Amino acid sequence: MIQFQALAQTYGTPLYVYDFDAMKEQFEALKVAFRGRKSILAYAVKANSNLSVIKHFAAQGSGADCVSIGEVRRALTAGVPKYRVIFSGVGKRDDEIREAIEHDILYINVESEGELGRVETIAKELNVKARISIRVNPNIDPKTHPYISTGLHDNKFGVEIDAAKRMYIHAKNSENLDAVGIHFHIGSQLTDLEPIYEAAVIVADLLRSLQAIDIELKFFDIGGGLGVRYDNETTITPYDYAQAILGALKGIDVTIICEPGRFLTANAGYFLTKVLYEKQNGTKRFVVVDGAMNDLIRPSLYNAYHRIEAIGKTSDMTPVDVVGPVCESGDFLAKNYPLPAMEHNDLLVVHSAGAYGFGMGSNYNTRGRCAEIAVENGEARIIRARETFDDLIALEREYL
């Protein structure tokens, strides 16, 4: 049991708290599901990019899936071995590509013919062979929120099957490209196994047709996207997930790369916020708290549901909008959420906040970002200090 009240007292609010033991359990569960096959779990750093979190997974043998050169640097800084670092993303700059090649990471996930050309040119300048994988867009509807669907032709990600084939043939004939993998990632918060299986079958078929023309790939990169329970969703078990992938891969000997983000961190994280005021506008009840959309934007951005717990409160529940101090009507953590009567300084714990929480934070309204706390074996420690006013203005010029 995490002592939320004590943590809020010691470190102040708003505050992010991560249960490192729970993160470890999630990692183990997925690792065990792929047991007996060559596999690498490459933690998707964007879900929660705190260095201590990355380091925690690296200590369990994790790799890292990165979507900017900043994330690649984070992964290497946190101790992820370069041979387990992957660089994905739809819009890589030349300088990012160059640096990734210089770091000699496992591979770059290429998302367009234009990008393949840039990687080849830069590798030629550096006089090396760049390892690449190609992200295929299998045109599968993942049945998730449209903002986190990525595997449809309507989405900006990846290339069509035919383009991918052309690109692999081009790479095979290139002095400066070494195609080692194939990649797909159809969306996030996936709770339905069927689309994942269908995508895996499509991409595995492409892999077979490449083998037929003597293009051998080592890595089958299935992306991330495994959903978690925020409310009462039925989720995919790691076992069923792995079985579906292995089913699609029948007869193919490849190393499976899986890039879980949310699955590893979401339910291990808590967002702690204190009540400032309770108020009533007409018949509408509001609880105003000290945490806001700049700290946790998921409710505002995706209408995401987060379970909220009122610590130490047992009175009758009535629906309330939990809102923050930011000057936007879209600044809410929950709408029509049943909560007991609240008073100044009561503590609310927002559950499932460990993924796409802190990392999506901003300084809007000149609010410093929260501190982040790790709890491991019953001990708490700060893994990122609260931002101060001086931190917020440090890069600004000409104001004196």
Ligand X SMILES: *Cc1c(COP(=O)(O)O)cnc(C)c1O
Check binding of 138 to ligand X (CB under 6 A): no
Comparing CA positions, the residue from 281, 229, 272 lying closest to residue 26 is 229
Check binding of 46 to ligand X (CB under 6 A): yes
Shortest CB 355 distance to ligand X, Å: 6
DSSP H or E stretch at residue 97: helix 94-103
Binding mask 227-266 for ligand X (x = CB under 6 A): --------------------------------xxxxx---
Check binding of 47 to ligand X (CB under 6 A): yes
- 190 versus 287: smaller Cβ distance to ligand X: 190
Q: Which of 138, 223, 354, 357 binds ligand X (CB under 6 A)?
A: 223
Please state whether the peptide bond connecting residue 138 to the residue before it is cis, i.e. omega within 30 degrees of 0: no
Query: What is the C-alpha separation between 301 and 299, in angstroms, rounded?
Result: 6
Shortest CB 21 distance to ligand X, Å: 20
- Total residues contacting ligand X by CB under 6 A comes to 18
Q: Which residues make beta-bridge pairs with 18?
A: 269, 374
Q: Contact region for ligand X (CB under 6 A) — 16-24, 126-134, 202-210, 224-232?
A: 224-232
Check binding of 203 to ligand X (CB under 6 A): no
CB-CB contact of 360 with 49 (8 Å): no
CB-CB contact of 128 with 101 (8 Å): yes
Instruction: Supply 234's token pair.
Output: 């039925």
- 4 versus 263: smaller Cβ distance to ligand X: 263
- 261 versus 357: smaller Cβ distance to ligand X: 261
Query: What is the C-alpha separation between 271 and 265, in angstroms, rounded?
Result: 13
Our answer to whether residue 327 is catalytic in this structure is yes
Q: Which of 66, 67, 106, 108 binds ligand X (CB under 6 A)?
A: 67
Alpha carbon 55 to chain centroid, angstroms: 15
- 46 versus 367: smaller Cβ distance to ligand X: 46
Q: How many CA atoms lie within 13 A of 227 on its CB side?
A: 23
| Virtual torsion, Cα 339, 342, 347, 351, nearest 10 deg | 10
Shortest CB 223 distance to ligand X, Å: 4
**Three-class SS state of 253:** coil
Residues lying near ligand X in the complex (CB under 6 A): 44, 46-47, 65, 67, 88, 185, 188, 223-226, 259-263, 355
Q: Which amino acids are annotated catalytic?
A: 327
